[in-house]
Amino acid sequence: MESLNLKVSKRLKLLRQEKAWSLEVASQNTGVSKAMLGQIERGESSPTIATLWKIASGFQVSFSSFVEEKQSAPTNLIHRKQKLQHVHQDDDKIRVVPIFPFDEKTGFEVFIIELLPGCLHHSPPHQKGVIEHIIPVHGTIEVQVDNEWHQVCSREGFRFEANLSHAYRNQTDEATLFHDIIFYGLDK
């Protein structure tokens, strides 16, 4: 099984080749420094979740395209035996696992995300037209959109335009688990 660093490295190289972008152009479009992009591409650095979102948004691709293999055909049921994982060692209070990687036919991807107590995670704005749907499974999550916090409990849902600045936090004493459905649109 391929390591996450290697998957991200290969995907970044492929995207730059497809667009014929230099590191300079990629840096301008993603907001990530040339040096950091080079380190990620060479497999020398593991990007944080926030950095990976910046790269995905800058290249206008889904987040899951960096962490999951593309599915050849959709299946009706996906069983995930793997544990929720830290994408980067500095993101030690947030764990993410894709349930349904991005699908061009549906225009969305689905994640299960766990926020440990005390977690505050800022997400960079995504491209225009991206809509996130937050559905807590266990616990309470607070979502900040455009500098306003919203509390969302289990059995509730929250939807917002993800091209605005946004953040997630867990101020409780228990881990919070939620589904994050990210809709990119059908013309992707």
Residues 82-99 have a mean pLDDT of: 66
Amino acid, res. 72: S
- Rounded Cα distance between 129 and 45, Å, is 30
Domains along the chain with CATH numbers: 4-66 (1.10.260.40), 94-183 (2.60.120.10)
Strands (E), the chain: 94-103, 108-115, 120-123, 131-138, 140-145, 148-153, 158-161, 166-169, 176-183
Q: Crossing angle, helix 4-19 and helix 23-30, to 10 degrees?
A: 100
pTM of this structure: 0.69
Q: Choose between 71 and 142: higher pLDDT.
A: 142
Encode pLDDT of 113-132 as tens digits.
999 999 999 888 888 899 99
